[in-house]
Amino acid sequence: MIIGWIGLGNMGIPMASNLLAAGYDVRVWNRTPGKAAPLVALGAKQIATLSKLVAQSDVLFTMVSDDEAVKAIYTGSDGLLSLPVQGKLAVDMSTVSPDTSRFLAERTKHAGLRFLDAPVSGSVGPAKEGKLVIMVGGEQADFEVAKPMLDKLGKAAFYLGPNGAGTSAKLAINLLLGITVQGVSETLLFARSLGIGTEQMLDIISESAVGTPLIRGKAASILADDYPAAFALKHMAKDLRLANEAGVSTPLAESVNATYRHALESGLGELDLMAILRHLEG
């Protein structure tokens, strides 16, 4: 089984590394070729064109930024669907709208390419540790083929139903993530304005029933007011926008969507999503 990996951003690099470490033959392509260097150092073969990558691979993974990027990879003029892909399996792990996943499923089916939408919950840390949570839509038989590889990337892979089900579940879990990060931020600011220090409040939250690995993991960053991106705020803003566009509106979904959009507009997009606290501090 030869794996063709497309997309070597913050997530793609550690994920492809885990497949290499598990012994898979991994061949990589990235729009910006220089980003493949860490993978090549680990033993991956860098392939110059998508066409060559397709010719050499049995399974194609895509892990790119957004709907536009995924559509460029699949349906662009030199994209996967312009190439002989019949009988191969594509696994898109990017977070995109369920509509885009269903659109790609339709187009790939036409080309004879089997297709799974398989976005992940978890940022760079879990990606490095192979502890992502993976949500999958598509044919169950294709899920079973992908499962041994997904097991190297994550601690759990859920099969959820037809194409679009994976991306739907991803938007739901990231809605909770966006709400949680804004909720913690507002709680800290509320406590601060009543005279309770941030460090003490973080300790209290961590020991309480609402303390989570997420909040404990962000504590050092909050205290240092330093937000290197584990999960970039721009991607969270995208996911909340997609959740709102899914047409099922809830009061908190509308609120967090607006907050993250404003934070993005004020230039915080490349920072970690926890920088929403800095945005709310004003």
Q: What's the min distance (Å) between Cβ of 4 and ligand NA7? A: 14
The reply on whether position 128 binds ligand NA7 by CB under 6 A is no
Q: What's the min distance (Å) between Cβ of 208 and ligand NA7? A: 29
By beta-carbon proximity to ligand NA7, the closer residue of 57 and 94 is 94
Q: What's the min distance (Å) between Cβ of 45 and ligand NA7? A: 17
Residue in 69, 85, 201, 240 binding ligand NA7, rule: CB under 6 A: 69
Q: How many residues bind ligand NA7 (CB under 6 A)?
A: 21
Q: What's the min distance (Å) between Cβ of 181 and ligand NA7? A: 15
**CA-based angle 139:108:61, to the nearest 5?**
75
The reply on whether position 9 binds ligand NA7 by CB under 6 A is yes
Residue in 3, 4, 5, 11 binding ligand NA7, rule: CB under 6 A: 11
The reply on whether position 12 binds ligand NA7 by CB under 6 A is yes
Q: What's the min distance (Å) between Cβ of 238 and ligand NA7? A: 6
Q: Is 155 a catalytic residue?
A: no
The reply on whether position 35 binds ligand NA7 by CB under 6 A is yes
Q: What's the min distance (Å) between Cβ of 191 and ligand NA7? A: 31
The reply on whether position 113 binds ligand NA7 by CB under 6 A is no
The reply on whether position 136 binds ligand NA7 by CB under 6 A is no
Report the distance separating Cα 178 and Cα 255, nearest Å.
10
| Alpha-carbon separation of residue 188 from 4, 145, 166, 180, 279 (angstroms) | 44, 46, 33, 12, 13
Residue in 23, 32, 48, 195 binding ligand NA7, rule: CB under 6 A: 32
Residue in 17, 95, 100, 167 binding ligand NA7, rule: CB under 6 A: 95
R_g of the chain, CA atoms, integer Å:
19
Question: Of these residues, 45, 128, 170, 218, which one is catalytic?
Answer: 170
Beta pairing partners, 272 = 232
Which residue in this structure is represented by tokens 């909050």?
A: 222
Residue in 94, 101, 108, 257 binding ligand NA7, rule: CB under 6 A: 94
Binding mask 176-215 for ligand NA7 (x = CB under 6 A): ----------------------------------------
Just list the catalytic residues: 170
Residues engaged in binding ligand NA7 (CB under 6 A) = 7-12, 30-32, 35, 63-66, 69, 72-73, 94-95, 232, 235
